[in-house]
Structure 1
Amino acid sequence: MTVYYKYMQKVIKIIFPNKPHLDPIAAAWLLLKYGENKYPGIAGAPLSVWKSGQNPSLGVLKEWEEQGIVSLDIEGGTFDHHSEKEKSVTLLVAEVLGVDKNSELQALLRYVQEDDLAGLHNNFGDLAGVIKCLYKQGRDISNIIKVTLSILDALNFKEENWHIGAKREFEAKAKIIKIKRGNNKLKLIVIESDNVDVANYAKQNHNAAAVIQKNSNGHVHIFTNAFHRLNIREIVAAIRLRELELNNKPIRKLAELRRPGKIIDVQNWFYHDALNAMMNGSAALAETPPTKISLDEIVGIVVYGLSNDYISAGYQPEKEEYFRNIYNRIR
């Protein structure tokens, strides 16, 4: 008796089977997050556990339906996938709510489906295994459910930020510059945004060779795509040289200007050798002074540093001499 298609009255409770695993907890998370319109009251419904080792009788299930109690993964209950062997409860709930195609939910839906039906897992890590370990420790069931719901919130925040937030920011704000490099063209993305995922989004979804991102604090970061194997040591040196000039500091030798990490008198820039990135501050170092170099100037340095010829949409060729002079001063 699966009744989820006709369930309409106000929900007063969500009930789980004894020691629920990830599938019904993830299904509950979907209902709490997306289900209020279809199931009024569910967003604030308390959570409960059917602790009996036996399935509830048809009479009990009928009472639950009449009272507005939604059951998950309990045979014969509201959302029961025992008669639909190819679907997890989470997928059933997603389909009923009409969110099964949402891009930000695909990793979760795949993970639960793999774990519940095949015992596999994907980039959500071993969350299902962690839940099993918590039960083995004798943890309180209600606390396990609350912890799992909180973890799912955190994981989904990242997915939403990537599939929705970063995508929206990129489409609204990104400037694309094509740089001639030999017989090829590199794609440089310039964007002003506080979204921490937008640079990776640009690299992964738009094959950006490099991304220059400026945030609202004035910090500027230069990220590169490992696929393109860019050498940015000259760019790093040129940026440090320009920062020294703007702060009236003595010019350092080229070997020092290229050095990974931080250097004396240019402490606000960090050359992350492993990531092949040049960063002015970070989320953990928000108090780092922003660069004095203008964004346009940084873009010009990067474009010149990556190209054989200074040819790029939106930037004047006559500026080539200016940036060449910066490079000449560090050679």
Structure 2
Amino acid sequence: MSNEQKTIQTIFVPKRLQIDTVVALVLLRKYGEKYYPGVSTAVLTFFRQPPEGKTAEQLEQEGILPVDMLGGVFDHHRETRSQETESVSQLVAKELKIQDDPALKKLLRFAYRDDIEGKGVLSKDAIDRSFGLPGLLNNLVRQYPEDPQRVFDIVEPVILGHLAEETMRHHVLPDDYRKKFDEGKVDAFLIPFRGKELRALTIDSDRKGMVGFLKAHPNIKADIVAQRFASGHINVVTNQQLTLDLAGVAERIRLAEAKARNMHESEFDASKLRDRARTDDFPMWYLDDTSRTVQNGGIDPEGTEPTKLSLEDVKLAIVEGLNDSDSQKKERVSSDKHPRSSKNRNSERVVYTALFVDDVAALKAAFPPVHPNEQYHHSTIQYKPDDGINGISVGAKHSIRVKGRVTTDAIDALLVEN
């Protein structure tokens, strides 16, 4: 970079685009304006062979910036290097002083691995390799051999989309969290549960990626997050790996909603307070067993009425509801270990929907039961009849065909296949 840098009007680029070159160009155009005025809007000119007659330094004085050619500052093939140890995108990042930005770490590593190590997509799966970015770029280069500008225009938004997401994760969300924390809009607390403590947190924030950030951040690792948007909508999201039963939380939230709306007991069906999905009495709340959430509209709440509850109301519902659900589960397990008489069991027979599968061993390995003979209400168990009831909470709806039925004095189960 010259001390008397001219405004960059043109960027010289090799005609056959590679991942490393495309990444370098994206970084230059997005971050390079401070060091190379005009580079963000400079015209790309492509060459099959590098133009002769002028050096990279001479071209820069004419407002032309060579990338990956002519031995310039952004040519990782130049003769002064005995061997290629840096990608052109790394050279660009260093020149622009952004090489340590955590938002660029994956992208720079990706370009280096593809160009210097020659690995590209590491997966051996044919589909992964076909639809990985290096493979798609090669397809585009072959499809439009005389139109590299079109190829670049297709791939650039993909890389910019990745950069936007990484910038959000490493900069925007942490900054917003710190701001909300300083403003007293974050409440972090612990919930005693099954002999351990769950990390829970409530926050006021309109950032759609905030929950994922709070669950993934190594210093936070939230197990449960209640996020309130400026619109008043509140969503309760949990770590799916914990497979928390949120029926009790949904019940407490719906009861609190009824109180906040001055609803009389006769105005809602108390037997449906723990129901999955949405109920007619409280359409603003949705209990999703698959995602382990209780949502008041989700991240795009348009069309859903905001709750009347405060974050403090929801916090109380979470604490009380979780332990209530766990207590009921323990009671069911205790009943399994100490069964009542046939007469009593018959009067309390429960209807289950089951998923009939051949490879039950794989299912057991993937979803080990928390308790022996664990059972879940409202169509959420899977088992193979001759294996006994091995409850696996799935919470997902399946496209199924009924194969048969098993009826005893304790159970009425459909046998289905997907």
Q: TM-score range by the shorter chain?
A: 0.7 to 0.9
Q: 1:274 to 1:60 in 2, by over 3 A?
A: same
Report the Cα offset of residue 86 of structure 1.
Answer: 2.2
CA distance in 1, matches of 2:89, 2:250: 48
Matches within 5 A, 1:115-130: 115-117=114-116, 118-121=118-121, 126-130=132-136
Residues 251-278 of structure 1 show CA distances to partners (whole Å, capped at 9, x for unaligned) of: 3244x33333222122222222211011
Report the Cα offset of residue 5 of structure 1.
Answer: 7.8
Is 1:202 matched with 2:214? yes
8 Å Cα contact 2:5-2:60 kept in structure 1? no
8 Å Cα contact 1:245-1:251 kept in structure 2? no
Matches within 5 A, 1:116-265: 116-117=115-116, 118-121=118-121, 126-138=132-144, 140-173=147-180, 174-205=186-217, 206-247=220-261, 248=263, 250-254=267-271, 256-265=272-281
- Structure 2: which 5+ residue stretches go unaligned? 181-185, 325-418
8 Å Cα contact 1:165-1:195 kept in structure 2? no
8 Å Cα contact 1:5-1:96 kept in structure 2? no
CA distance in 1, matches of 2:115, 2:277: 45
Is 1:20 matched with 2:17? yes
Report the count of equivalent residues. 302
Report the Cα offset of residue 38 of structure 1.
Answer: 1.3
Quote the residue 1:318 is aligned against: none
Is 1:288 matched with 2:294? no
8 Å Cα contact 1:240-1:257 kept in structure 2? yes
CA distance in 1, matches of 2:19, 2:106: 14
Report the Cα offset of residue 8 of structure 1.
Answer: 3.2
The percentage of aligned residue pairs carrying the same residue is 27
Matches within 5 A, 1:47-62: 47-50=44-47, 52=48, 54-57=49-52, 59=54, 61=56
Report the Cα offset of residue 202 of structure 1.
Answer: 0.9
Residues 136-162 of structure 1 show CA distances to partners (whole Å, capped at 9, x for unaligned) of: 222732122122222222221111111
Residues 57-81 of structure 1 show CA distances to partners (whole Å, capped at 9, x for unaligned) of: 3526454233121121225234111
**Higher mean Cα deviation, 21-30 or 68-77?**
68-77
Quote the residue 2:112 is aligned against: 113
- Structure 1: which 5+ residue stretches go unaligned? 309-331
8 Å Cα contact 1:222-1:277 kept in structure 2? yes
CA distance in 2, matches of 1:198, 1:210: 12
Q: Compute the RMSD of aligned alpha carbons.
A: 2.6
**Higher mean Cα deviation, 61-70 or 263-272?**
61-70
Q: 1:47 to 1:198 in 2, by over 3 A?
A: same
8 Å Cα contact 2:5-2:61 kept in structure 1? no
Report the Cα offset of residue 44 of structure 1.
Answer: 2.4
8 Å Cα contact 2:73-2:91 kept in structure 1? no
Residues 95-126 of structure 1 show CA distances to partners (whole Å, capped at 9, x for unaligned) of: 11111111111121121122222323489982
Q: 1:303 to 1:190 in 2, by over 3 A?
A: same
**Higher RCO, Cα 8 Å, sep 6+:** 1
Q: 1:185 to 1:283 in 2, by over 3 A?
A: closer
8 Å Cα contact 2:248-2:322 kept in structure 1? no
AA in 1 matched with 2:157:
S
Higher alpha-carbon Rg: 2
Q: 1:230 to 1:283 in 2, by over 3 A?
A: closer
8 Å Cα contact 1:179-1:307 kept in structure 2? no
Is 1:73 matched with 2:73? no
Report the TM-score, using the length of structure 1 for normalisation. 0.82
Say which of 29, 45, 56 aligns to 2:42. Answer: 45
Q: 1:224 to 1:162 in 2, by over 3 A?
A: same
SS of alignment partner, residue 189 of structure 2: strand
CA distance in 2, matches of 1:297, 1:239: 8
Report the Cα offset of residue 245 of structure 1.
Answer: 4.5
Report the TM-score, using the length of structure 2 for normalisation. 0.66
Quote the residue 1:324 is aligned against: none
**Higher mean Cα deviation, 115-124 or 6-15?**
115-124
